[in-house]
Amino acid sequence: MDEKQKLLQELPSVDEILKIPDGIKWCKAYPRRYVLKAIRDVIDIRRKEILEVGYSDISMEGMSIDIEIKIQKLSSYSLQPVINATGIVIHTNLGRAALSEKVLENVKKVAGSYSNLEYNLEEGKRGKRYAHVTRVLREITGAEDVLIVNNNAAAVLLCLNTFAKGKEVIVSRGELVEIGGSFRLPDVMSSSGAILREVGTTNKTRLYDYKNAMNENTGLILKVHQSNYRITGFTEDVSVNDLKTLSEKYNIPLMYDLGSGCMIDLKPYGIYSEPRVQEIVKTDVDIITFSGDKLLGGPQGGVIVGRKEYIERLQRNPLTRAVRIDKLTLAAFEATLMEYIDEDKAVENIPTLKMLFQKPERIKERAKKIALNLKRRIKNAKIDVVEDASKAGGGSLPEVDFPTYAVSIKPESISVNDLEERLRKGTPVVIARIKENALLLDARTVKNEEINELVRGVQAALY
Ligand SMILES: *Cc1c(COP(=O)(O)O)cnc(C)c1O
């Protein structure tokens, strides 16, 4: 009998592997379907190797290790935490806002039991789902009434559908935005049944452009915050106050899609471009929409604040039921919004704001700590702390560079691209960026609790 035949005959069967102590252990800990699949796959790989190369490690120990890795892969969740070392705080691809422990605790409490979601405890009868965030949102924004839907895209869609179906919506050409992830204002407009009436030019729109576009079929005047881009140079746009005067004169509602939904004063941080929700509410705009998970730092959601009569009209639209938020989101919203009752505390307690506005010295300390830990363990790479700039991300504050510190890694045995890939596919998953032939770990978005894990991940990737 030749060597190949001999090895093939010695290859253990599925049943034999199931009977070894590891096999018994796996069947207790993992779904049987995945245990069987992993065993079969590993046997197949070994058989192929024998046939093609003439040799394979068919020892129980060797096979057992491979099987276990496969089982773990099969039974692990697809959606998993990653370490964000990109420095981009509102990273849409990485899930935008991370929530604080306090917010998570509230979600856990509400999600794990029954709640008064739609039950009025005072009166002992059916209550309103949105009532749980009405008071706090009114208090912090000054608005008459509120509604929260699945995301800001849904909020805009719902508003257009409610106030301007079959009617014209006047929008400046300088504000016809596309937000990453296929939210294009003209497309949302047509999906809602509203008719887009563009006015002005890309760089300049004046009040008379809006005025000239007014006719008996005008349903809404819409202002959109240029979230993820800025037009600079020879530009002009119409102020909210002027639009409000026009809207009152013609008795046409005015809506402002704010995008990010910033609720704190950014001027102390030298940022003047982002309108505050509270300021816009003061201008008496009829409807304001913004995201829950951009600068607000809460869960995914679309917040609509405005005049009571308009919110009531929204609530009567059957589409509202189709885009309603669930109790987990609501619990996260209420706890997040509560942090804004005290604005100073909001910057401390809401991770998004904390990461954006932490002092560069603190980031530097963290970068140094990471670098020091890495240098102790890693000899085959050049490791330094470097100054750099991070971006807010999520279509927020595109023109602002936030001074930051990053750990620069230049590997000696593999390429920078290989290192990036290994970190991305490793455990823990680390998402980093490459700049000028070095891998950068921006300490802005790395939490203190993640440092040890991050160091272990880099060490494993360079091993
Ligand atoms: C981000 C953004 C949206 C979409 O908000 P989502 O919450 O991502 O759905 C809509 N309009 C503007 C101006 C935005 O910046």
Each residue's pLDDT tens digit, 412-460: 999 999 999 999 999 999 999 999 999 999 999 999 999 999 999 999 9
Crossing angle of helices 327-338 and 131-141, rounded to 10°: 30
The arithmetic mean of pLDDT across residues 260-281, rounded, is: 93
- The secondary element (H helix, E strand) that includes residue 83 is strand 83-84
Q: Identify the bridge partners of residue 291 per DSSP, sorted by sequence position.
A: 302
For residue 242, the tally of other CB atoms under 10 A from its CB is 13
What is the pLDDT confidence band of residue 235, given thresholds at 50, 70 and 90?
Answer: confident
Our answer on whether the CB atom of 395 is closer than 6 Å to any ligand 1 atom is yes
Cα(300) to ligand 1 centroid in Å equals 11
What the block records as the tokens of 160 is 């257009």
Cα(292) to ligand 1 centroid in Å equals 9
Cα(100) to ligand 1 centroid in Å equals 22
| 102, amino acid identity | K
- The secondary element (H helix, E strand) that includes residue 174 is none
Our answer on whether the CB atom of 177 is closer than 6 Å to any ligand 1 atom is yes
Q: What is the mean pLDDT of the chain?
A: 95
Our answer on whether the CB atom of 153 is closer than 6 Å to any ligand 1 atom is yes
CA 239 to chain centre: 30
Q: Are 341 and 166 in contact (CB under 8 A)?
A: no
Our answer on whether the CB atom of 151 is closer than 6 Å to any ligand 1 atom is yes
Our answer on whether the CB atom of 352 is closer than 6 Å to any ligand 1 atom is no
Crossing angle of helices 360-377 and 451-462, rounded to 10°: 40
pLDDT tens per residue, range 34-64:
999 999 999 999 999 999 999 999 999 999 9
Our answer on whether the CB atom of 86 is closer than 6 Å to any ligand 1 atom is no
Instruction: For the chain, report the end-to-end CA distance as a whole number of angstroms.
Output: 42
Our answer on whether the CB atom of 397 is closer than 6 Å to any ligand 1 atom is no
Selection from 423, 299, 403, 409 nearest residue 359 by Cα? 403
The arithmetic mean of pLDDT across residues 76-95, rounded, is: 96
DSSP string, 107-171: HHHHHTS---TTEETTTTEE--TTHHHHHHHHHHH--SEEEEES-HHHHHHHHHHHHHTTSEEEE
> For position 181, what pLDDT does the model report?
64
> For position 201, what pLDDT does the model report?
87
Specify the ligand 1 atom closest to the Cα of 226: 13
> For position 180, what pLDDT does the model report?
66
Cα(190) to ligand 1 centroid in Å equals 17
Pocket probe for ligand 1: among 179, 228, 257, 296, the residue whose CB has the most ligand atoms within 8 Å is 179
Residue holding tokens 């294009």?
A: 184
pLDDT over 80 (residue 164) = yes
Q: Identify the bridge partners of residue 431 per DSSP, sorted by sequence position.
A: 84
| Angstrom distance (rounded) from CA 463 to CA 452 | 16
Specify the ligand 1 atom closest to the Cα of 260: 15
> For position 253, what pLDDT does the model report?
97
- The secondary element (H helix, E strand) that includes residue 302 is strand 302-306
CA 104 to chain centre: 16
Per DSSP, 219 falls in state: E
pLDDT over 80 (residue 110) = yes
Specify the ligand 1 atom closest to the Cα of 227: 15
pLDDT over 80 (residue 234) = no
| 155, amino acid identity | A
Kindly give, in sequence order, each residue whose CB lies less than 8 Å from that of residue 216, ignoring residues fewer than 6 positions away: none
Q: Are 373 and 204 in contact (CB under 8 A)?
A: no
pLDDT over 70 (residue 1) = no
> How many degrees, rounded to 5, is the angle at CA 264 between CA 133 and CA 353?
90
pTM of the model: 0.92
Residue holding tokens 């996260």?
A: 332
Selection from 196, 118, 125, 120 nearest residue 156 by Cα? 196
